[in-house]
């Protein structure tokens, strides 16, 4: 077990999942360790740790799969299970799953009895480079992404790249979108490395080193600004419009994976980068070509702009009724707290639609 990052959450690269997880949890009392999964991770990932003596099978919590279930009902189910199965303030919750259960489970742990320990074992590429690290936890509420939540770091994060082989191509591509974002906010060299990697039917061995580097990039921003008052806002690039796309798609019964929505958000927000910060349009067209080649386009019409704009007005990052963006002057050159008008946002949506 190798330490990838040593911050508020220790992030480990696992070489032997059962042995490494056992070493992390053996200080907790048997019967006080709980395991949260969704139905997909229970089927595909749980067999890899089944039989660990520290985990009592009667302490397994299974929630439904999909971001549409990242809600109060699933959260209450976790709370109720912990409450009725003897969990106390010395208990541990292990989130063995993708990003949605890591977010929801982290929030459940942060709030149950005013906080219990939790460990994330992310099983998707997206959760390995994004949801499982950084200390953001939460649920969706009233149709809005991550509307309710708290900052609470996992006690540990255990990254096992073998899980990536259990994913379909769309979910691998979804995780890669966050890696693209990390590259764009970090450096030209990192972007060129990511751009040259073929995520369709990827080389999983080569992908491992890219995952480690992506975690380093995110954790660097998190350590510099744990509660997102300043430079950590860089990680929100692509997410203001991206979350609006994601919520809109869910409301129209045409859900898209989070990373796909972020990719669409980056395409639109790059236009704002050009308009507000002078990002070179030639580079924008190059980046957008790469994004569209992997993620295609989510179809919208001009009639959808008002709905998308309204969704953006509920974004957590907004201040003083102004829609707040993280934009780029160039690759690796960040401009936080950029406020854009309704007209500018509509221009960006039109650019997305027509590009």
The CA distance from 14 to 21, in Å, is 8
How many residues can be counted in the chain? 355
Distance CA 75, CA 189 (A): 41
Strand order across the beta sheet in which 92-97 lies = 2-6, 10-13, 156-159, 117-122, 92-97, 33-38, 60-63
Are 120 and 195 part of one and the same domain?
no
Q: Answer yes or no: do 201 and 233 share one domain.
A: yes
pLDDT given at position 244: 95
User: Who's near 31: CB < 8 A, 6+ residues apart?
Assistant: 56, 59, 86
CATH of the domain at 286: 1.20.1090.10
Question: What token pair was written down for 147?
Answer: 């509307």
Instruction: Work out the number of other CB atoms within 10 angstroms of the CB of residue 198.
Output: 9
Do 266 and 162 lie in one domain? The reply is: no
Indicate if 202 and 339 belong to the same structural domain. Answer: yes
Whether 120 and 269 map to the same domain: the answer is no
Q: What distance in Å separates the CA atoms of residue 222 and residue 186, rounded to the nearest whole number? A: 13
Q: Which two tokens stand for residue 118?
A: 């939790």
Q: Which domain holds residue 345?
A: 169-354
Task: Examine the domain organization and report whether 135 and 175 are in the same domain.
Answer: no
Residue ending a domain, among 112, 145, 166, is 166
Quick one: CA torsion of 347, 348, 349, 352, rounded to 10 degrees?
A: 120
What does the pLDDT look like over 241-300, one tens digit per residue?
999 999 999 988 889 999 999 999 999 999 999 999 999 999 999 999 999 999 999 999
How many structural domains does the chain have? 2
Assess whether 146 and 232 both reside in one domain. no
**CATH code where residue 131 lies:** 3.40.50.1970
Rounded to two decimals, what is the model's pTM?
A: 0.87
CA-CA distance, 179 to 21, in Å (whole number)? 26
pLDDT value of residue 57? 93
Are 29 and 104 found together in one domain?
A: yes
Residues 232, 162: one domain?
no
User: Looking at the structure, do residues 305 and 254 belong to the same domain, yes or no?
Assistant: yes
Q: How far apart are CA 342 and CA 346, in angstroms?
A: 6
Q: Which domain-ending residue is among 113, 138, 166?
A: 166
Please return the burial class of 60, using the count of CB atoms within 10 Å of its CB with bins 0-12, 13-18 and 19+.
middle
Distance separating alpha carbons of residues 130 and 266, to the nearest angstrom: 16
pLDDT value of residue 345: 96
One domain, residues 326 and 279: yes
Tokens in use for 335? 């401009």
Tell me the C-alpha distance between 122 and 10, whole Å: 14
pLDDT < 70: residue spans in the chain: 4-8, 316, 318-321
Given this model, what pLDDT does residue 319 score? 65
pLDDT at 15: 86
Query: 107, 101, 89: which is closest to 150 by C-alpha?
Result: 107
Beta bridge partners of 62: 37
Strands (E), the chain: 2-6, 10-13, 33-38, 60-63, 92-97, 117-122, 136-141, 144-151, 156-159, 324-330, 333-339
Residues 153 and 266 in one domain: no
Token pair for 18: 């059962």
Quote the CA–CA distance of 75 and 158 in Å, as a whole number.
23
CB 87 within 8 A of CB 116: yes
Q: Which two tokens stand for residue 347?
A: 């221009």
Closest CA to 36 of 130, 107, 113: 107
């Amino acid at each position: 077990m190798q330490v990838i990052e040593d911050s508020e959450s220790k992030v480990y690269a696992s070489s032997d999942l059962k042995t490494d997880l056992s070493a992390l949890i053996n200080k907790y009392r048997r019967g006080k360790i709980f395991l949260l999964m969704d139905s997909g991770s229970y089927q595909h990932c749980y067999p890899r740790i089944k039989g660990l003596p520290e985990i009592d099978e009667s302490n397994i919590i299974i929630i439904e799969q999909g971001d549409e279930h990242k809600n109060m009902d699933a959260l209450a189910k976790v709370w109720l299970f912990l409450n009725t199965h003897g969990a106390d303030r010395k208990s541990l919750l292990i989130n063995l799953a993708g990003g949605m259960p890591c977010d929801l489970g982290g929030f459940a742990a942060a709030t149950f009895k005013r906080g219990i320990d939790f460990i994330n074992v992310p099983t998707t590429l997206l959760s390995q480079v994004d949801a499982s690290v950084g200390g953001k936890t939460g649920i969706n509420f009233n149709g809005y992404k991550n509307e309710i939540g708290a900052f609470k770091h996992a006690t540990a994060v255990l990254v096992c790249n073998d899980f990536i082989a259990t994913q379909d191509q769309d979910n691998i591509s979804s995780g890669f979108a966050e890696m693209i974002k990390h590259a764009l906010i970090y450096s030209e060299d990192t972007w060129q490395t990511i751009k040259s990697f073929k995520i369709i039917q990827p080389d999983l061995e080569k992908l491992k080193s890219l995952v480690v580097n992506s975690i380093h990039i995110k954790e660097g921003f998190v350590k510099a600004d744990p509660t997102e008052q300043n430079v950590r806002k860089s990680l929100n690039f692509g997410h203001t419009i991206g979350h609006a796309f994601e919520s809109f798609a869910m409301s129209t019964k045409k859900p898209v994976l989070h990373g796909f929505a972020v990719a669409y958000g980056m395409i639109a927000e790059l236009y704002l980068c050009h308009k507000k910060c002078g990002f070179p349009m030639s580079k924008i067209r190059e980046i957008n070509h790469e994004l569209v080649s992997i993620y295609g386009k989510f179809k919208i019409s001009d009639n959808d702009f008002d709905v998308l704009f309204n969704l953006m007005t509920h974004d957590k990052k907004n201040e003083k009724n102004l829609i707040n963006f993280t934009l780029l002057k160039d690759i690796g050159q960040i401009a936080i707290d950029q406020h854009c008008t309704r007209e500018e946002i509509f221009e960006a949506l039109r650019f997305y639609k027509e590009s």
